[in-house]
A and B are shown apart, each in its own frame.
Chain A
Amino acid sequence: MTRAQGRWEHFYHQADIGVRGIGPTLDEAFEQAGLALTAVVTNPALVRPAQPIEIECEAPRASLLLVDFLNQLVYEMAIRRMLFSQFEVHISPPDLGGALSLHALAWGEPVDPARHQPAVEVKGATYCELEVRQNHEGEWVVQCVVDV
């Protein structure tokens, strides 16, 4: 059986940028959304996954969990002056029943302006165009607009 590939994309918003993660599981879709967030700032391929940081958050439903997760990443990027290029996300409980908690590791390195050419800071993840759903292929699609 071939396993569907996780992927990320940006979607159009006039002033800001939409980030979308797609994956065979919700965990992977969140991981891809993390990459989409980094791609707002720089090309993720330029970021070495040198050191990990830990992220924990909780929310009553998956869409709110996505905003919290991205906002935690924005916070870590800001105070550590780091960029992240590899993610490992675990959301529980697996059946997504009731309140959700997320535990994640994000690997990255300190910002190097010459090498990363960071275009813009992300100010925060918003509730605009916020969606967590499964598409016709059964893949998880998670998205929202981030303010830049």
Chain B
Amino acid sequence: MDISRLVQKSEFEWWLEATPPMRVPGILYASEALLREMDDKVLEQIANVAGLPGIVQAAYAMPDAHWGYGFPIGGVAAFREEDGVVSAGGVGFDISCGVRTLHTGLTVADIEPIKENLAQGLFRHVPAGVGSVGKIHLELAELDEMLQGGAAWAVAKGYGRPEDLEYIEEHGRMEGAQSERVSEQAKRRQADEMGTLGSGNHYLEVQQVTEVYDPAVAQVFGVAVGDVLVSIHSGSRGLGHQVATDYSKRMIEAAHKYGLELRDLELACAPIQSEEGQAYLGAMRAAINCALANRQILTHLAREAFAYLLPQADLRLIYDVSHNTAKLETHLIHGKPERLYVHRKGATRALGPGHPALPEAYRAVGQPVLIGGTMGTASYILVGTQEGEARSLSSSCHGAGRALSRHQALKQWHGKEVVRELAQRGIIVRSPSPRGVAEEAPGAYKDVSAVVDAAHAAGLSRKVARLEPLICIKG
């Protein structure tokens, strides 16, 4: 990225001043090195978002921002409830794609002797990859119940424990979901996809805690060096993708009616108070529930696989975060509380200490912010900060972000070699697709540690613990 257009406010904060048609400035949180790696398109997209009606404060880019469609991935933007817009492209295709992390109650010493078997057991038990089907088939009526109930529906069906719900955003059930706003096509796409991991960058990892940066907070989350955790990265599967497709189209068709002059079709949006805006919000919330239910079922499958091999394991949910959402939240804008639809696309909500939406056990310290890395590097647990509220509407980064395209990665690596190399380092990778592994090679991603360090230094969230993979199930 050409940073000459930016004004540096501090080591990790850079501003793109608001020039018409921008209504607010762009604010990018990153080190200079990370910024220089970003595509110029990120800046162009930030400027475009900053020009949308009803936007408040700024269009933000997180340290892992990269070129998306319409809104950048790693972008955050909030719009006033009364005169703002909601954008399907501002949420993304994989609605509520996110990460949940569980503590296994085990240490590395418990896992090492049966690591191969555990990898095989998880790989067999958790459906992953293109064309895979879940063990559950849902008819339309049941799909509607799932879309209204989210993870709470899954728990009621026997997938998980009631106490899991406390540790999921929205307590596992997004209010305001309207399954009738979800097309039949979207529902049909989901009928056999409940409890499937998906492909691409989705994974289930068994990880070890290798470093603790904040012992007090780590204790509250219940993690210590040597502990074994499980992290699941997946989303709303085919249903969420179809909702995004359906409503992007509908928003483009309706834009003219509302006098929205789209500089680019990718910026398709609708007034929050319009029929199209309300319909999208109802459908998007249903898709959030789909993602929450999906990760809940995946959790159940992981528990079953562990129970078979390690009966002493007790998989306790630490937390579940969603990356691609637009949620109604109240934030202080110029000292006044305002109701805003906060779009986070490839960004994590990061509530600071004391927030009423947090589980009671974490309320004193803040929200766990779960950052997924690659299968060869590390993941991190961070915690939301008080200052994050003013800095980025309580938002933080979500992962490493790609450095190389899939095509470039495929030229550089062979899947089998990547699997062999990682095995030598003690990381077992299981995937139905060597090509998929090559495209997801650790070297194809930016340095997740640099991203996390920038989020920490910028005050968006604070480092708590570092996790390194032991087993990775890739789609």
Contact = CB atoms under 8 A, between A and B. Distances in A.
A127 B407 contact: no
Interface string A1-41: 00000000010111111000000000000000000000001
A81 B131 contact: yes
Contact of A147 (B93, B199, B265, B401): B93
Contacts of A67: 249
A127 B67 contact: no
A126 B67 CA distance: 13
A73 B92 CA distance: 19
Contacts of A78: 189, 238, 241
B406 A148 contact: yes
Contacts of A118: 129-131, 199, 432-433, 435-436
Contacts of B436: 117-120
Interface in B412-468: 432-436, 438-439
B185 interface: yes
B375 to A, nearest CB: 15
B406 A17 contact: yes
B68 A15 contact: yes
Contact of A10 (B198, B242, B407): B407
A16 B67 CA distance: 9
Interface in B30-59: 39, 41
Judged by DSSP, the binding face of B is mixed
B93 A123 contact: yes
Interface string A58-98: 00000010011001001100110100000000000000000
A119 B69 contact: no
A117 B410 CA distance: 13
Contact of B200 (A71, A120, A125, A128): A120
Interface residues of A, number: 36
Interface string B52-80: 00000000000000111110010000000
B208 interface: no
Size class of the B contact interface (CB-based, 8 Å): 35 or more
B22 to A, nearest CB: 20
Nearest to A43: B435
B327 interface: no
A119 B199 contact: yes
B2 to A, nearest CB: 16
Contact of A113 (B73, B130, B252): B130
Contacts of B244: 123-124
B393 to A, nearest CB: 23
A37 to B, nearest CB: 13
A54 interface: no
A26 B21 CA distance: 36
A68 B185 CA distance: 14
A121 B199 contact: yes
B405 interface: yes
**Residue among B69, B268, B402 having the largest count of chain A Cβ atoms under 10 Å:** B69
Contacts of B245: 71, 74, 124-125
A37 B242 CA distance: 17
A15 B73 contact: yes
B67 A15 contact: yes
Contact of B252 (A13, A16, A71, A127): A127
A125 B89 CA distance: 12
A145 interface: yes
18 contacts: A14-B39, A14-B402, A17-B405, A64-B252, A81-B131, A111-B131, A113-B132, A118-B129, A118-B199, A118-B436, A119-B433, A119-B435, A119-B439, A120-B406, A123-B94, A127-B252, A147-B69, A148-B406
Given A12-B405, A111-B131, A121-B130, 14 more contacts: A14-B41, A41-B130, A113-B131, A113-B433, A117-B436, A118-B433, A119-B435, A121-B200, A123-B94, A124-B93, A124-B248, A127-B265, A128-B69, A145-B69
Interface of B: 39, 41, 66-70, 73, 89, 92-94, 129-133, 185, 188-189, 198-200, 238, 241-242, 244-245, 248-249, 252, 264-266, 268, 401-402, 405-407, 410, 432-436, 438-439, 475
Interface of A: 10, 12-17, 41-42, 64, 67-68, 71, 74-75, 78-79, 81, 110-111, 113, 117-121, 123-128, 130, 145, 147-148
Per CB-CB distance, the 5 closest pairs between chain A and chain B, nearest first, are A111-B131, A118-B130, A128-B69, A127-B265, A123-B241
